Structure formats: structure tokens, C-alpha cells
Amino acid sequence: MKIGIMGGTFDPIHLGHLATAEAVRENFSLDEILFIPAARPPHKLGKKVSDEKHRLAMTILATQSNKFFRVSDMELKRTGLSYTLDTMNELQKNFGASAELFFIIGADSLADLNKWHAAKELVEKCHFIATTRPGADANFSAVKKFFGEAATKHIHRVTTPGLEISSTDIREKIRLGRSIKYLVPEAVEEYILREKIYDC
């Protein structure tokens, strides 16, 4: 089994996440992609994040039409901060030692990877698939300088569709009463408007 892990706040999940995950799945012949909404992302502690029940519901709605996509609430159920190392260890235990796990990471997050909890241990133990993202410049030589050989062995780079979409931008559009059509799946758009998640 080869499994892709797509972690994120998903506040809300959008077509940038989905198109990236699908491209990675095909490119690396992965058996499935597991979307894992983060409970308390350490890098977003000062920021307001929407209720986890909404973020989980939107992630389920967004992924249900793809038979290769699944959603896990494992980070939401765990108490404390969401550390990727804990998640990867738990998944390896659940899937068994022969499963290959690939954590999908966008260029903007890759630039911060050195600041993640137990970053060096994480890159030594796990595979990463570094994707492209418009507006984010992945400085791979800086990544290599910090992580050394482990980066060459464990961080795989791939070019993914350049969709210039971000959750921040979507939240802002809703606040301004602007359209978010074609930025999120229709079912997610309906959910956001019905539940008034981002209204002031």
C-alpha cells in the first residue's frame, strides 16, 4: 500500500487542495489519499480557526466523489497540538510496517518545514511529496542545507496544477459578500452559506 497524507486546516477545503492531491495520487501511483484536518496546528495558534465539526464536514463533502480519497478525524480526536510526527507514527502502526506513507506538502509549508516539531526526525523517517503552489517559492537548496542527505532521499518534488486559491482568500471573499463559486466544490459552497461559517 502506498498512501498519501494531505494534512491541513481546511478552513475551508478548496480546489487547490483537491487538484493537488489528485495530481500527486496519479503521479506517484498512490492507492489512496487520506485527508486529515488538523485540530490545533502549532503554526496557527494565534489565529482563529473554525469549529472542527465544520472543517471535518466540509472535508467529507469535498472528497466524497473521489473513490481514492478518504478522511480521517484522528488529529481532531487527539488532545493537544497536531504534530505530524505523531500522526505518521500512528498511521504506520495502523497500516502496518509494509505500508509506504507520503506526506503531501505545499511549497509554502515546505519553506517552514525546518520549524516543525522534531523536523529532522520527521524527514529522516517519513517521505514527503513537495508540490508547487502559485506565489510560493520552494527554495530547495535551503531545505537541503538544513536537512542534508535525508532531504535528497525523502523529499520528492512534483509539479502540480497551479491553482491560485487559498482558504484565507475564500474567507475574505465571503466576508465581503463576494462569490466563491468554482473555488470550492459546490457542496462545500452550499454548506458554508447554509451554516454561515465565515459571516461576521
Residue ranges binding ligand ATP (CB under 6 A):
8-11, 16-17, 20, 105-106, 108-109, 131, 133, 160, 163, 165-168
Q: Which residue, 96 or 115, is less far from ligand ATP as judged by CB?
A: 115
Strands (DSSP E) contained in the chain are 2-8, 32-37, 69-71, 100-106, 127-131, 155-157
Whether 75 and 38 have beta carbons less than 8 Å apart is answered as yes
Measured from the CB of residue 82, what is the shortest distance to ligand ATP in angstroms? 12
Measured from the CB of residue 106, what is the shortest distance to ligand ATP in angstroms? 2
Q: Which residue, 17 or 25, is less far from ligand ATP as judged by CB?
A: 17
Q: Closest residue (Cβ) to ligand ATP?
A: 106
How far apart (Å, rounded) are the C-alpha atoms in residues 122 and 84? 8
Measured from the CB of residue 44, what is the shortest distance to ligand ATP in angstroms? 7
Q: Which residue, 9 or 72, is less far from ligand ATP as judged by CB?
A: 9
Q: What is the CA radius of gyration of the chain?
A: 16
CA 8 to chain centre: 4
How far apart (Å, rounded) are the C-alpha atoms in residues 192 and 190? 6
Q: Which residue, 24 or 149, is less far from ligand ATP as judged by CB?
A: 24
